[in-house]
Structure 1
Amino acid sequence: MDLQRAWLGRGPLAWLLWPVSLIFGALAALRRWLFRIGVLRTERVDVPVLVVGNVIAGGSGKTPVVIALVRHLRAQGLEVGVISRGYGRKTRDCREVLPGADPRDVGDEAALTHQLTGVPVFVAARRIEAARALLQRHPQTRLIVSDDGLQHLALARDIELCVFDDRGIGNRWLLPAGPLREHWPRRCDLVLHTGARPAFAEGFRSQRTLADHALRSDGSRVSLAELAGKPVVALAAIAKPEGFFAMLRARGIQPERCIPLPDHFDFEDWRRPPGGHFLLCTEKDAVKLWHVAPEALAVPLVFTPEPAFFAALDAKLSSLDGHQAA
């Protein structure tokens, strides 16, 4: 995409949009000021809130971070819930993500988070509504993790985690001349890089690899080694689909065709490519794709932040008033 490429440097298109970015920045600053003086209200819930977000437009790997955080905290015995806007869903109400929920009603990322963690997940246009509904339905919850929402100032937060991929902060300009939703650096509790080559030194690193197996829609597994040399078609409807294709090749899978699709693509009217190929996709795609192509194989992503990140997170949580370690 031309705009995405323009955001990596300060070329003619970026300069053309730069005056508009000044207006964007002024409006964003005005909004933050209105929250500070109380004209716009920031509301708090009764448990700590950890926001996982970013300052750069486009996917930077927030949902795998949320899933890794929840698994880490659950392993410590902490009751955790997740809230989300449910990006891409066709509904607008506040609702709980229940087992078997249609991803088109709750959002593919929210459905995947509930599927992989089993914790309560609520979606709503206003995250404060999702948080309150979650606590009403699951009062044992001791921590809420918000998937995205760094700029959603209506919800008070206790810890902010900012996620970056290999793009870093691009050309350092605000939208639409650059990729930034707000200026960087900004105050933030934790910074985590999800890419293989972090664009700047600050923050913690992580690793992203594929599992050594793919999943059928019934939950059974197929070894990736068995698929090496077989006729394979790969598809990905994620922010950077080529990353998935590259990871498949690194595991010895050589797709005869790669199909990149828009992030959060709705597979409702999608038709499988002809031919007797194995169809590989991401787990995020599978929550929708299995409705129309149940024979597709989903390859799980293994996302592993460095141990120092979890140590820093635990220290932040321990410092919060009212935080209860299990």
Structure 2
Amino acid sequence: MTQRLQQAWLRRGLLACLLWPVSRLYGLLIELRRQAFRAGYIRSERLPVPVIIVGNVVAGGAGKTPAVIALVRHLQARGLRVGVVSRGYGRSGQHCQEVLAGTPIEESGDEPALIQRTTNAPVFVANRRAEAARALLARYPLTQLVICDDGLQHYALQRDIEIAVFDERGTGNGWLLPAGPLREPWPERLKHGVRSGGRGIDLVLHTGGQPAFKGFGSVRQLANHAVRADGSKVPLAELGGQPLLALAGIAKPEAFFAMLRSRGLQLTETRVLPDHYDFDSYPRPSDKGYTLICTEKDAVKLFPRQANVLAVPLEFTPDAAFFIAFDALLAPLLSPLTSPHGHQTA
């Protein structure tokens, strides 16, 4: 290990130690809040249909949205009517609304827009996910279950199945924010939740190539084609040799660039942008003759703004065993559904 690397690790360790008391206080506040929900001091709302939470306990992107999309498609393939709710991170509005094909991204958030575009499922956003869910069920009364994109810590909405998503980081140093990456204690959260009976996380899904601990795995790869704004497809094989400008406003942009290069594409230029970048101040490469290539998450914001844009879909496939385990958990929740909104609670 070089001296510079040793110094970097030392600085990181010292910073974590200095922040540790703050993390302890944060942990106490988390536990007090959790106990308040358990005791009923803070109201928690039960919906008339099953609720599935897909979230994480680690700050930052871990692949929740691809997991939500995979789950929605799986349920749709089973013939089930599913809706999605989200807070809509980064959106400018505060009100509850449905995300439609023509909804401005600044009003919906990029991830809800991507979910709606790729699944055509009903999607609603609101600061309070319970409010979004109520609006969804009012607009689509035949909905049989609701998936919440993120929200493991949003205890105001009761849930029936909790799925925790992890990437290669695992739980990091195992410390709570701000000394570590954890939003709440782990593995305590694995064992003890906030629902009736003290149940914790039901399923752990790893989105990275090397799971940090036990759980279900998955495969992430690029599709064999890119997509234009009009929905037409361009095989990636036809893009070889073209001057490509690749950009990414996601949590791990370099991973996207590496996946493009692994498919034989020669990236003339790459641009790393902040996660959830809004592109309002993005300088258009109009005079360089580049074809701009990006993720689907970025494309929902770029398509209305920029010509000559191609989005490369990410194909995210959880292990078959994950869906088997998920279906087994879901089966007893659906059996009481003799009519729309017929979910019975304990």
Amino acid at match of 2:202: D
1:80, distance to aligned residue in structure 2 (A) = 0.2
Rounded to whole Å, the distance in 1 between the matches of 2:211 and 2:262 is 20
Rounded to whole Å, the distance in 2 between the matches of 1:111 and 1:227 is 27
- The residue aligned with 1:209 is 221
1:10, distance to aligned residue in structure 2 (A) = 6.5
What per-residue deviation string (whole Å, max 9, x for no partner) do you get for residues 202-255 of structure 1? 110000000011111111111111112221110000011111001001101121
Return the match for 1:247 from 250, 256, 259: 259
1:268, distance to aligned residue in structure 2 (A) = 1.9
- The residue aligned with 2:143 is 141
Rounded to whole Å, the distance in 2 between the matches of 1:325 and 1:267 is 47
Please say if residues 78 and 325 of structure 1, whose CA atoms lie closer than 8 Å, have aligned partners that are also in contact.
no
1:40 and 2:49 matched: no
Amino acid at match of 1:198: P
- The residue aligned with 2:14 is 12
- The residue aligned with 2:204 is 191
- The residue aligned with 2:192 is none
1:124 and 2:126 matched: yes
Which is higher, the Rg of structure 1 or of structure 2? 2
1:300, distance to aligned residue in structure 2 (A) = 0.4
Rounded to whole Å, the distance in 2 between the matches of 1:324 and 1:117 is 23
Amino acid at match of 1:72: H
- The residue aligned with 1:278 is 291
- The residue aligned with 2:245 is 233
Please say if residues 270 and 292 of structure 1, whose CA atoms lie closer than 8 Å, have aligned partners that are also in contact.
no
What per-residue deviation string (whole Å, max 9, x for no partner) do you get for residues 36-79 of structure 1? 11111111110000000000000001000000000000000000
Rounded to whole Å, the distance in 2 between the matches of 1:272 and 1:210 is 25
Rounded to whole Å, the distance in 1 between the matches of 2:275 and 2:130 is 26
Return the match for 1:224 from 236, 243, 261: 236
Rounded to whole Å, the distance in 2 between the matches of 1:219 and 1:121 is 20
Runs of 4+ in 1 over 3 A off after TM superposition: 321-326
SS in 2 for 1:27: helix
Greater mean deviation of Cα atoms: 28-37 or 174-183: 28-37
SS in 2 for 1:29: helix
Greater mean deviation of Cα atoms: 219-228 or 103-112: 219-228
Rounded to whole Å, the distance in 2 between the matches of 1:323 and 1:162 is 26
Amino acid at match of 2:258: A
In structure 1, runs of 5+ residues without a counterpart are 1-5
Rounded to whole Å, the distance in 1 between the matches of 2:250 and 2:126 is 22
Amino acid at match of 2:231: G
- The residue aligned with 1:295 is 308
Rounded to whole Å, the distance in 1 between the matches of 2:105 and 2:338 is 33
1:197, distance to aligned residue in structure 2 (A) = 1.1
Q: How large is the Cα RMSD of the aligned pairs?
A: 1.7
SS in 2 for 1:265: coil
Rounded to whole Å, the distance in 2 between the matches of 1:290 and 1:11 is 43
Return the match for 1:67 from 46, 50, 69: 69
Return the match for 1:261 from 262, 265, 273: 273
- The residue aligned with 2:106 is 104
SS in 2 for 1:268: coil
- The residue aligned with 2:328 is 315
Taking structure 2 as the reference length, what is the TM-score of the superposition? Answer: 0.89
Residue 17 to residue 231, structure 1, CA distance change in 2 (3 Å): same
Rounded to whole Å, the distance in 1 between the matches of 2:12 and 2:45 is 38
Rounded to whole Å, the distance in 1 between the matches of 2:239 and 2:209 is 25
- The residue aligned with 2:166 is 164
Amino acid at match of 1:309: F
1:285, distance to aligned residue in structure 2 (A) = 0.2
- The residue aligned with 1:3 is none
Greater mean deviation of Cα atoms: 74-83 or 92-101: 92-101
Amino acid at match of 1:295: N
Identity across aligned pairs (percent)?
A: 62
Amino acid at match of 1:191: V
Rounded to whole Å, the distance in 1 between the matches of 2:139 and 2:324 is 31
Greater mean deviation of Cα atoms: 215-224 or 85-94: 215-224
1:319, distance to aligned residue in structure 2 (A) = 2.3
Rounded to whole Å, the distance in 2 between the matches of 1:321 and 1:102 is 35
1:320, distance to aligned residue in structure 2 (A) = 2.1
Rounded to whole Å, the distance in 2 between the matches of 1:323 and 1:207 is 34
In structure 2, runs of 5+ residues without a counterpart are 1-7, 190-199, 340-346
